[in-house]
Amino acid sequence: MVTNETYTIEGYPVQRYIGIVTGEVIMGANVARDFLASITDIVGGRSGAYENKLQEARDAAFVEWKIEPCAWGQTPL
């Protein structure tokens, strides 16, 4: 899939502009993850649990981002 943030895509004729494609996902956290993240906040460092959950949400949003044009009857490049 070709993604683009400009008005032209080299090699592809743009017939019309439909709109902005978005993908949103809300992921729930849990008590254990929050507790471990609070310890990480105190002692410093990175919260692997939150980073993994954020990556999971990002991946799910990207899937939504690829599906939305199909709902509009379009083929995502």
pLDDT of 17-61, one tens digit each?
777 777 777 777 677 777 777 777 777 777 777 788 888 888 888
Task: Quote the CA–CA distance of 18 and 12 in Å, as a whole number.
Answer: 15
Q: pTM score > 0.75 for this model?
A: no
Task: Quote the CA–CA distance of 13 and 36 in Å, as a whole number.
Answer: 51
Task: Quote the CA–CA distance of 73 and 40 in Å, as a whole number.
Answer: 46
Q: DSSP for the chain, please give it.
A: ----SSS-BTTB------------------HHHHHHHHHHHHH-S--HHHHHHHHHHHHHHHHHHHHHHHHTT----
